[in-house]
Amino acid sequence: MAWHFALMIDPAGSGDTRSDFAGTFTEVDPAAPALTVGELSTQRGDGIFESIGVIDGHAQEVEAHLSRLGHSARLCDLPHPHLEQWRQAVALAAAACGAGEAVIKLILSRGIEHGPTPTAWVTAAPAADFSAARTRGIRVVTLDRGYALDTPARAPWLLLGAKTLSYAVNMATLREAHRRGADDAIFTTSDGYVLEAPTASLILRRGDVFVTPAPNAGILHGTTQLSLFEHLEARGFETGYETIPVSELQTADAAWLVSSVRLAAPVTAIDERELAGDAALTASMNAYLLSPRD
């Protein structure tokens, strides 16, 4: 049976000056009940999360994930997570991971309705096997996200830039992609611009230039995409953030969907248009992403 790890957290206030938060953690049986029936994370998806890839017991890009957790908390009017407390919780979860690939999830919920404090926990488990997606690639379709490029700025209460637990739309999008014979999807705005995938960032290649949609339309700033851009820049490539019209998907030389656990999956077709792959570059990307990174 596959191993699993779960840790409940008594959230500390952002001003807590302790250096050791061991007393705020309770390891629990991952198969046993741990949440109350009034928990808003399960009733309403009212909370935020992060997924951190783990390679041979090393949690990848922890600071970037913690920073994004704090950003999501601000957007959702949740108490700001005490980053040192969460850092120590991640370290405990990583220590429970053995060799190979795993995933740590951080969850911060509003708690129970009218409750005094949020609910917080961390889990760790083996990662799924994404070797086929990394080597053979994936086919994607474009699907309308249902809002215009300027909607996040005009309606911040929609929380379009937060990584929330409300993932019903993302999962429905993946089911629709599968119904259309694809493996994944790329969201587009209703006025014709490229966003991101339901669970990944998009990187396009034009010659020796790599671009990703600018994070100004409710797009999550991808931790893996940021790290890959550093890797590509070190190899002498140019990178950038752009507002990308959907039409440019048809002229890209190559494309990848990148995320913390699946890593870099080359896109072999967008809306039935075949894309040429670059197996050597993809292998280099994933070799880098599989190396320990802070």
Q: What is the DSSP string of 76-92?
A: TTPPPP-HHHHHHHHHH
Contact by Cβ (8 Å): 205, 266: no
| pLDDT for the residue 241 | 96
214 class by beta-carbon count within 10 Å (0-12 exposed, 13-18 middle, 19+ buried): middle
Please check the confidence at residue 75 and state whether its pLDDT lies above 60. Answer: yes
β-pairing, 254-259 with 201-206?
Answer: antiparallel
Task: Check residue 48 and give its pLDDT.
Answer: 97
Buried-state track 132-168, b at ≥16 Cβ within 10 A, e below 16: ebbeebbbbbbbebebebebbeeeeeebbbbbbbeee
On average, the pLDDT of the chain sits at 95
Q: Nearest Cα to 188, choosing from 141, 138, 255?
A: 141
- Say what the pTM is: 0.95
For residue 115, pLDDT over 90 is answered with no
Which of 288 and 221 is assigned the larger pLDDT?
Answer: 288
Q: What is the C-alpha separation between 35 and 117, in angstroms, rounded? A: 14
> How far apart are the C-alpha atoms of 7 and 21, rounded to whole Å?
13
Confidence band of 1 (pLDDT split at 50, 70, 90): low
Residue 197 tokens, joined: 């995938």
pLDDT band at 277 (very low <50, low <70, confident <90, very high): confident
Give the range among 123-127, 259-263, 274-278 with minimum mean pLDDT.
274-278
Each residue's pLDDT tens digit, 215-225: 888 888 899 99
**Both structure tokens of 218:** 């409710």
By percentage, how much of the chain surpasses pLDDT 90? 91
Chain CA centroid to CA 172, Å: 17
Which domains are delineated in the chain? Answer: 5-126 (3.30.470.10), 131-289 (3.20.10.10)
Helix, coil or strand: residue 181? coil
What digits encode the pLDDT tens for the residues 133-177?
A: 999 999 999 999 999 999 999 999 999 989 999 999 999 999 999
Tokens (6 digits) for 191: 């006025």
pLDDT exceeds 60 at position 184: yes
